[in-house]
Every structure is written in structure tokens, then in C-alpha cells.
Amino acid sequence: MATILLVDDNAVERRHLAGILAGAEYAVVEAANGDEALAAVANAAPDAVVCDIHGSERDSLALVAALRREVPSVPVLVTAIFGSEELAVKALRAGASNYLPKRNIARDILQVLDELLSVAQSQSQQAVFLGRMTAVEHEFVIENNPDLVSHVVSHVESMMSQMRQFSESERVQVGVAVHEAVLNAIVHGNLEISSELKAGDWDEYHTAVSERAKSDPYQRRRVSITVRATREPMLMVRVRDQGPGFDPSKLPDPTDPKNIETGSGRGMLLIRTFFDTVEHSPNGNEITMVKRESLGRMD
């Protein structure tokens, strides 16, 4: 039996709605105001909240925000009298899950609640399922568009979060390193633009990137990114380009001050600092970066 927390300072309307819900075999907990509602939530989280919003806009929105903070997985259905639609929209933006005009509440409340509870249950089951996932691996193939790099980084950070890997600051560091690796694969690998040009005139560099990305053979090349994340935790990111490659043994020492000042030198320094192991393929077309358990691991 699902439990519904019913919040309304109008005792007559609250009890009328409580009767409808009880008739549909819902367990009902009543609250006359925000303080009572939050006390009820602290005592036992309901399956859903039906909250009347009117009167003080600040108090109504504060209650919705507090419910989202205290019980983020519990759907909140707000109800309002005619003329309060603007406040209802603000409540939805504050975190409410749905809105129902009071004039339709007796007719629609059971159907709307059933839909909300179904969605909430599905999300809860999905969370349990994902909690049993021990590894996830994705592969991307992207064209030579630097604007796509941030989307790759965002997805890698999402995978780390999903596997509960590392601390937030470490995720940011990994994101920075992945950004450098993918951008290097596009610019230096596929487009064959030198580090010297990147370190020189900025407009000339961007013009070269734009022009080569539209001309052969460069425009036909792609960058492949493979990401594997496990709960150990271990994160592996492999980036492969289709350029002519280079001799990894001749890669400048990224810790040498004169190399740090160059774009590629700084990028390699970040990559080697933020990942535990970094390996290049013999032809230089592929870099594999691995980060393992750290003191910042999330529990």
C-alpha cells in the first residue's frame, strides 16, 4: 500500500481528498503546513506528496524545494486554485513533478498519482539495477570537430559518476586530461597541425583547423575513443586517430620546462599527472590512459 503525504491548510478540503485517496486504498498522512510536512517526511518518507500551493509564494516554493532536498526520489504533485497557474509553474521549476488544478482534483487525482508512482517505481528499479552494474564500456567515433570534445569529456565524467569512481576533483582532473588527449588526436593526429603553429598565432591556428577539417585527406579521418569504467575502480580511456603517427620514443619530456610552455607539452604533462599509466602504440596513433583506485574514492 502506497503512502501519500497530503499537505493542505484547509482542513475540510484536506479531509475530503484524504477520503478519496483512502477509498483507493492509499495510506494517507496529513499535514496542515510546511513544518508538519517536513516533520512527517523526517519520520517516514512517503511514496508521493500532494501539496496545495497558495497564499505566500515564498513559503510554497520553499516547501517544494525542501521536499526535493529531503526526499529527492519522492514525486511531488502540486495543486492550486484557479488563478494560481503562475505559482504552479514556479513550483514545477522548483522541483515539483506535476501540477493539477484544484477544480479537477476529485476527477483526476487517482489517475495522476498512479502515473507518478509508476514513474517513480521505474526509476527506483533502474537505480537498483544500475547499482548492480560492475562495469560499463562505451566507444565513440567522432569527426575532426573540436566542439565535440567537451561532449566526450562530459560522458566520461558521467561514466565515472555511474561507477562511483574517485572524488569530484579527480573527475575534473580526468576530464581535463581526456580533453587534451582527444584534442591532440584531432589537431596533431588527424589534421597534422604542428605544436609550433598551436603555440603561435591563435587566429592562424584556428583557420588551419577549420580549413583542414574540410579538405582531403584530413576530413575523411576519424577519432575513436574507447572508455571502460569498473567499480574497482578502474578507468581506461583509449584514443586513436587515423593520422600518419609519430615515433613515441621521440616524444619530448613533458616535465622539461621548455616543453611545458608548448601546447602539446602542457597537454602531455596533464595527461601523465592525472592518469596512473599512459602508453602509446608503436606508431603513435593510439594513447591508452588508465587511472585506478585512489584515496578520493567514493563509497
CATH fourth-level superfamily of 135-292? Histidine kinase-like ATPase, C-terminal domain (3.30.565.10)
Nearest to 155 by CA among 169, 137, 132, 143: 137
Residue 134 pLDDT: 87
Please state the three-class secondary structure of 137-191 as a single string: EEEEEECCCHHHHHHHHHHHHHHHHHCCCCCHHHHHHHHHHHHHHHHHHHHHHHC
Nearest to 7 by CA among 44, 33, 38, 41: 33
User: pLDDT, tens digit, for every residue of 17-66?
Assistant: 999 999 999 999 999 999 999 999 999 999 999 999 875 557 888 999 99
3-131 has CATH 2.60.450.10 classification: no
Residue 200 pLDDT: 64
For the chain, list residues with pLDDT below 70.
55-57, 82-83, 126-127, 130, 198-200, 252-265, 294-299
Please tell me if the domain spanning 3-131 has the same topology as the one spanning 135-292: no
- pTM of this prediction exceeds 0.95: no
Residue 95 pLDDT: 87
Domain chopping of the chain, boundaries:
3-131, 135-292
Residue 93 pLDDT: 85
Which of 61-68's residues contact partners 24+ apart within 8 Å by CB, and which partners?
61/87, 61/90, 61/91, 61/94, 62/34, 63/7, 63/34, 63/37, 63/38, 64/91, 64/94, 64/95, 64/96, 65/94, 65/95, 66/34, 66/38, 67/37, 67/38, 67/41, 67/95, 68/94, 68/95
